[in-house]
Chains A and B, each alone.
Chain A
Amino acid sequence: MPILSSPDSDAIVLSIKVALTATLLSLPFGFLYAYLMTFFKFRAKVLLEVLVNLPLTLPPVVMGYLLLVALGKNGWLAPVLEPLGIRLIFTWKAAVLASALVGFPLLVRSIRLAMESIDGRLIQTSRTLGAGPLDSLLTVILPLSRPGIVAGSSLMFARSMGEFGATIIVAGNIPGITQTIPLAIYDYAGAPGGERAALALCGVAIALSVLVLLVHESLTRKLARRQ
């Protein structure tokens, strides 16, 4: 009997799919948010900062519940989503949303750190050499933020792979549809004789995490060499 059953393989694929989608979808927003917070002064800055970082301090279950309240059939956003035929709750897309919300502060933090370390004179120099603000953003700030983008993406991907609390509430734990690795482990842990499968999934989770860290290290070194 193989160590990993078919639902386990589904959970692995889904975990990767959810984490990857959440990370890729969050990247442009994370970059823009970090850019705004690093280079602009505006009134609601502190408020925005608190809101974005809230998932770091709130229990993920609370995040999941709030998402459920917002996106559910009679939720706050139902009048907008229903006419468009968008159904998110208990789909893998809800798991993406949950992962994105929970991982977003980690992504933003790394990008911001990278942006804050950019010498402002480089941006000024690019402006005096004929680059407009968008040009400067794309040709100076973006490339120099790459180490932060790589670090933030790795962190967010890893965080999404491990996301449990918000996901189980907003996406449920449906094998083959919304069941990710942590949810499958949770199932096995509560079922008699599920230790072997749970350990096998733990092994996969560890292997994936090590892989993410290795990719992160390699990319970071490559960028450092280039710069």
Chain B
Amino acid sequence: MELNMAISKKFPGSFDLKTDFTIAGEQVGIFGVSGSGKSTMVSLIAGLLEPDHGEIILNGDCLFSSERGINLPPQQRRVAIVLQDSCLFPHLSVEANLIYGYRRCPPRHRQIDVKSLVSVLQLDGLLERGVNRLSGGEKQRVALGRAILANPRLLLMDESLSALDDGLKLQIIHYLKRASEKFRIPYLFISHSLLEIRLLTDQVLAMGGGRVLGQTTPEQLARERMGQSQVGYINLLQVEKLRKMGGLYVYRWGMEEIFVSAGDDEPMAVFELSSRDIILFTRHPEAVSARNLLKCTVMDTFPSGNKVGVELRCGHETLIAEVVVQAADDLAIQARTQVYAVIKASSFRRLS
């Protein structure tokens, strides 16, 4: 997918949006706080709003051009949307919702068939149900399926996970990734949650005040915003369960073993760990109550507000920690320094 958007749109008395960017990729994010213009951009791409000036080009096809007098109506753009509230048609069954876009898609564009989509999203048992009898997660799965079955050339996910709790969020993330990979549907994932952006995209546009502030990777953006975040940088650790020991769960994380109190019997898991929950020692600490002691190498340090971010390499894995400037100076933390990272077993938060 390649999207070029050089447009301006004024909303008298409130807001004006001006963008000029080209982004290419299959899993692209748009990140910004509320009011930054993300949703307006979605409406402009989908053809639900008309820019005042400019051009929107998707995969070489002009969707809008004020100069050439082109403004494709939404039904001809093949850009489907999944919104925060699933927006399922309440008068239709799950099945009828699912095939709404499919039946309107010209046969030559129908590459995804209903049966395989239903199987990938595990919707088999829900087809006959009325949509008001679905849970929040099921609704969002149906909305996702409905959008994918329209066989769009771009899927716009506008804060699609914001209304879900963490468990459901991860479930939908899993389904979205699975469906996007299997059916090769590129998506533009719009969110104010950096974590969602990191889990779902490989590059991101940062927006603020109706402007695109920059184009970067989600990891880089997370590091840049670490100082402004109340929880620091969230490390995401993909782990594999090894055993249970005492009251703790032991997981394999790269070449390391980590001890976690909030584990369970699932063989694979993702844990969150805040950069603020990592304590660094330059010498091997003795008699520590924390259950995790990881020997790491400092790869890089970077300023993060009034603190210093520290990129650590533990085996093949990377961790980001943060320390106050004074601590960084006292310990002389710099690239290639060997350190010990101490982490309490209770600092890990289960994500999936």
Contact = CB atoms under 8 A, between A and B. Distances in A.
Nearest to B156: A128
A227 B131 CA distance: 8
Contact of A129 (B73, B83, B132, B146): B146
A49 interface: no
A125 interface: yes
A227 B91 CA distance: 5
Nearest to A130: B104
A79 interface: no
Interface stretch (A1-9, A40-48, A116-124): A116-124
Nearest to B49: A124
Nearest to A223: B91
Nearest to B45: A128
A126 interface: yes
A140 interface: yes
B85 interface: yes
Interface residues of A, number: 20
B41 interface: no
A62 B79 CA distance: 54
A39 to B, nearest CB: 14
Interface string B76-98: 01111101010101110000000
Chain A binding surface, main DSSP class:
helix
A130 B150 contact: yes
Contacts of A125: 81, 83, 87, 89
Interface string A137-176: 0011001101000000000000000000000000000000
Nearest to A225: B130
A127 B89 CA distance: 13
Contacts of A146: 91
B157 to A, nearest CB: 12
A135 B74 CA distance: 13
Contacts of B91: 143-144, 146, 226-227
A140 B89 contact: yes
B297 to A, nearest CB: 49
Given A124-B48, A135-B104, A129 B80 contact: yes
A132 B74 CA distance: 8
Contacts of A135: 75, 104
A189 interface: no
A16 interface: no
A177 interface: no
A77 to B, nearest CB: 40
Contact of A127 (B74, B83, B85, B132): B74
Interface of B: 43, 46-48, 73-75, 77-81, 83, 85, 87, 89-91, 100-101, 104-105, 130, 132, 146-147, 150
**Top 9 A-B pairs, shortest CB-CB distance:** A130-B104, A129-B101, A127-B74, A143-B91, A227-B90, A125-B87, A129-B150, A130-B75, A121-B87
